[in-house]
Amino acid sequence: MLTLAQVWSAIDRLATRAGLSASGLAKRAGLDPTTFNKSKRFTAEARARWPSTESIAKALAATATPIDVFVELINAGEGHATRAVPLLGFAEAGSGGYFDDGCYPVGEGWDQIAFPAVSDEHAYALEVSGQSMEPAYRDGDVILVSPSAPIRRGDRVVVRTRDGEVMAKELKRRTAKSIELKSLNTEHADRTLAAADVLWIARILWASQ
């Protein structure tokens, strides 16, 4: 399972690899200089804090570091193995034969990508295509999706309707009768779907960006 300590250690290794301090890495990424400081790794109530996906993405872009190299930094010196995760293009996710009714990947046609071991053995990755999910996710980004992870209001999710439409949105509200979704792109309208029209909904755990 991916841990908070692994991710923060990887950020420190990323900074060292670039010849920077943690604050220097944040500056180069266009972030507040204290973003990656040790003082920011805990809340005022002393609870551990995860770095944001956006801040990590900016740090990777600023250092020209691919996601697979960052995965290696996560595992460096920790003895944690990666595993192959099924990878599919987002556009293909709406086609038949790739998922069962529970959102679990099945069938042929999947590629694979190395990822740190995650608790959900059925986790899979989708490669974003097009601009409809910008600026949250851009063309070529890879998102890691977990069909087993609990979903709460405010989570980013992938939803597939019974007619084959697949979309990435933010969950606004979920009831027995409907699912309200906020668009990640302000040029696209929010959606409200009847629960009966949704085949599955799964939480996005990670994005390469």
CATH number for position 123: 2.10.109.10
Instruction: Determine the average pLDDT of the residues in 95-117.
Output: 73
Residues 52 and 91 in one domain: no
With bands split at pLDDT 50, 70 and 90, how would you rate the model's confidence at 209? low
For residues 37 and 51, the answer to whether their CB atoms sit within 8 Å is: no
Q: Where are the alpha helices (DSSP H) in 18-52?
A: 22-28
Residues 66 and 17 in one domain: yes
Q: What percent of the chain has pLDDT over 70?
A: 90
Residue 204 has pLDDT above 80, yes or no: yes
Residue 115 has pLDDT above 80, yes or no: no
Residue 142 has pLDDT above 80, yes or no: yes
Residue 74 has pLDDT above 70, yes or no: yes
Residues 194 and 94 in one domain: yes
Residue-range definition of the domain harbouring residue 19: 4-75
173 three-class SS? strand
Residues 105 and 152 in one domain: yes
Domains of the chain: total: 2
Tell me the pLDDT tens digit for each residue of 42-65. Answer: 877 777 888 888 999 999 999 989
Instruction: Determine the average pLDDT of the residues in 87-91.
Output: 83
User: Residues near 76 by Cβ (< 8 Å), separated by ≥ 6?
Assistant: 10, 13
Q: Report the mean per-residue pLDDT for the chain.
A: 84
Instruction: Determine the average pLDDT of the residues in 86-113.
Output: 78
Residues 45 and 100 in one domain: no
Tokens found for residue 98: 């790739």
Whole-angstrom distance, CA of residue 30 vs CA of residue 119: 33
With bands split at pLDDT 50, 70 and 90, how would you rate the model's confidence at 114? low
Residues 90 and 191 in one domain: yes
Whole-angstrom distance, CA of residue 111 vs CA of residue 84: 9
Residue 184 has pLDDT above 80, yes or no: yes
By residue count, the chain amounts to: 209
Q: Which of residues 75, 92, 122 is at a domain's end?
A: 75
pTM over 0.85: no
Can you give the pLDDT at residue 118? 66
Tokens found for residue 80: 């944690």
CA dihedral 165, 186, 170, 68 (to 10 degrees): 80
Q: Which of residues 27, 55, 75 is at a domain's end?
A: 75
Measured between alpha carbons, how far is residue 88 from residues 37, 49, 112, 144 in Å? Answer: 36, 31, 8, 11
Residue 194 has pLDDT above 80, yes or no: yes
Q: Which residue has the higher pLDDT, 139 or 96?
A: 139
Can you give the pLDDT at residue 49? 84
Residues 43 and 128 in one domain: no
With bands split at pLDDT 50, 70 and 90, how would you rate the model's confidence at 78? low
DSSP 129: -
Nearest to 59 by CA among 86, 37, 27: 27
